[in-house]
């Protein structure tokens, strides 16, 4: 029998921002007091903290935004655009602007990463049981036959019209939270907030800096002990987004673990030497797409990609317990692993 492991509780424990977040509490006494709001959506605990006189309205608006995006992007909600696409008879559907923007990014990063990011793996994720928690290790011939009906390059997007081949199913789980944190930050700006931080299941995005002028201190989990922190990064106006093998996994009788990020090459959990990838950059959507893709690609290709593209920082953790990070971040190691700066050549 397979031992099932869920990590929703871990998501709650490590909100990943080093500040306490709770439901909106006492009315703030000054402009710099914090307002907090917690929401459970997209199968994740989400915490938001905003400062200033416009914070309360911004949090209200942000909560409504999260719920709207969840209903548009969910792969399971029968009314979502993605569900409509996946169940449409001719493989074509009109999707919302949000879904179209995410799909465009997924295709762009799919191309740039030689298909490491592939939004058509949903039938395989179902077969492994990652969509239901009813886990199993499928037979290789079953994996191969499902894999034959996948491929990001067969998704076409024209304006808001998406077309997929018969039998294909799309899932935006690798990018949806990053898009959502981008959207919350821009909602906060629109509402007149200039200091805020959100954590969507440990994926953090910061607006501006703390009211006292200091940077946000964001913790990243130790993939070998996911209820403890591994390092702190200090950021202003950045997203800090992690993909890790500890986020959703199960273990078979022999003790081997299988996790939810699949390698489109063989349809099995991506096992290319990395156990966690954190991307730090300006756009939550880009960081989320890249955290998943670089996890799949493994260390050497991830480093090569970062050097080539150069517009983000990253923290990689290898399966033999080394931390590697790029020099553009303010990084403090608080783990017992060694941490090495990636050289630029």
Give the footprint of ligand AMP on this chain (CB under 6 A): 117-119, 121, 125, 171, 173-174, 243, 247, 260-262, 264, 288, 291-292, 296
Which residue is closest to Mg ion by CB? 292
Choose the stretch contacting Mg ion; rule: CB under 5 A; options: 11-19, 26-34, 145-153, 285-293: 285-293
Query: 278 vs 335, which CB is nearer to ligand AMP?
Result: 278
Instruction: Decide which of ligand AMP, Mg ion, none touches 260; Cβ closer than 5 to 8 Å per partner kind.
Output: ligand AMP
Minimum CB separation of residue 174 from Mg ion in Å reads: 4
Nearer to ligand AMP, 191 or 286 (CB): 286
Q: b/e map of 156-171 (b: 16 or more CB within 10 Å)?
A: ebeeeebbbeeebbbb
Of 74 and 291, the one with the shorter C-beta distance to ligand AMP is 291
* Contact between 174 and Mg ion per CB under 5 A: yes
Taking each helix axis as running N to C, give the angle between helix 97-112 and helix 55-73, from 0 to 180 degrees, rounded to the nearest 10: 70
Nearer CB in complex with ligand AMP: 195/242: 242
Dihedral sign (CA 130, 21, 331, 308): positive
Q: How far apart (Å, rounded) are the C-alpha atoms in residues 224 and 259?
A: 14
Helix (H) or strand (E) holding 87: helix 81-87
Q: Taking the complex as a whole, how short is the minimal distance between the CB of residue 73 and ligand AMP, in angstroms?
A: 12
Query: What minimum distance in Å lies between the beta carbon of 196 and ligand AMP?
Result: 22
Q: Nearest-CA neighbor of 286 among 336, 239, 222?
A: 239
Q: Is position 14 an interface residue for Mg ion (rule: CB under 5 A)?
A: no
Asked if 286 touches Mg ion (CB under 5 A), the answer is no
> Looking only at Cα atoms, what is the longest distance across the chain?
64
125 interface partner picked from Mg ion, ligand AMP, none, CB below 5 to 8 A per type: ligand AMP
Total of chain residues touching Mg ion, rule CB under 5 A: 4
Residue 44 touching Mg ion (CB under 5 A): no
According to CB under 5 A, which one of 292, 306, 326, 335 is a site residue for Mg ion?
Answer: 292
> Between 187 and 292, whose beta carbon lies closer to Mg ion?
292
**Residue number of the CB atom closest to ligand AMP:** 173
Part in contact with Mg ion (CB under 5 A); list of ranges 20-28, 114-122, 174-182, 324-332 = 174-182
Report, in Å, the least distance between residue 148 CB and ligand AMP.
16
Continuous segment of H or E residues that includes residue 340: strand 338-341
Does residue 255 contact residue 300 with C-beta atoms inside 8 Å?
no
The DSSP code sequence of 143-159 is: HHHHHTT--GGG-EEET
Cα–Cα distance, 112 to 117 (Å, whole number): 9
Among residues 173 and 226, whose Cβ is nearest to ligand AMP?
A: 173
- CB of residue 31 vs ligand AMP: minimum separation in angstroms? 35
Among 288, 294, 296, 316, binds Mg ion (CB under 5 A): 288
Nearer to ligand AMP among residue 34 and residue 155 (C-beta) = 155
> Could you tell me if 35 and 28 are in contact, meaning their C-beta atoms sit under 8 angstroms apart?
yes
**Alpha-carbon span 71 to 68, nearest angstrom:** 5
For residue 305, how many C-alpha atoms fall within 13 Å in the half-sphere facing its CB? 24
Closest to 332 (Cα-Cα) out of 231, 236, 259:
231
**Contact (CB, 8 A) for 229 and 222:** yes
List interacting residues with Mg ion (CB under 5 A): 174, 288, 291-292
């Amino acid at each position: 029998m397979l031992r099932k492991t869920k990590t929703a509780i871990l998501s709650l424990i490590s909100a990943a921002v080093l500040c306490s977040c709770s439901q909106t509490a006492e009315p703030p006494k000054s402009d710099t007091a914090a307002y907090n709001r917690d929401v459970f959506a997209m199968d994740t605990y989400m915490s938001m903290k905003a400062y200033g006189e416009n914070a309360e309205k911004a949090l209200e608006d942000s909560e409504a935004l999260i719920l709207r995006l969840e209903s548009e992007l969910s792969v399971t909600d029968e009314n979502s655009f993605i569900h409509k696409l996946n169940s449409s008879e001719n493989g074509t559907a009109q999707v919302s602007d949000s879904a179209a923007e995410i799909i465009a990014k997924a295709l762009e990063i799919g191309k740039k990463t030689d298909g490491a990011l592939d939004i058509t793996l949903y039938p395989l994720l179902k077969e492994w049981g990652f969509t239901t928690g009813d886990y199993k290790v499928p037979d290789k011939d079953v994996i191969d036959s499902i894999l034959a009906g996948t491929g990001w390059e067969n998704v076409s997007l024209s304006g808001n019209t998406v077309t997929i081949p018969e039998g294909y199913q799309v899932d935006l789980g690798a990018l949806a939270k990053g898009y959502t944190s981008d959207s919350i930050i821009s909602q906060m700006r629109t509402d007149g907030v200039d200091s805020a931080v959100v954590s969507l299941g440990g994926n953090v995005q910061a607006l501006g800096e703390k009211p006292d002028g200091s940077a946000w201190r964001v913790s990243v989990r130790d993939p070998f002990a996911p209820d403890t922190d591994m390092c702190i990064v200090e950021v202003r106006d950045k997203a800090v987004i992690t993909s890790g093998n500890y986020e959703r996994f199960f273990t078979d009788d022999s003790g081997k673990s299988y996790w939810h990020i699949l390698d489109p090459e063989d349809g099995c959990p991506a096992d290319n030497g990395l156990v966690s990838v954190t991307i730090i950059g300006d756009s939550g959507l880009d960081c989320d797409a890249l955290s998943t893709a670089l996890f799949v690609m493994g260390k050497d290709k991830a480093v090569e990609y970062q050097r080539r593209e150069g517009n983000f920082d990253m923290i990689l953790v290898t399966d033999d317990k080394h931390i590697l990070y790029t020099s553009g971040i303010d990084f403090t190691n608080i783990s017992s692993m060694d941490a090495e700066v990636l050289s630029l050549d």
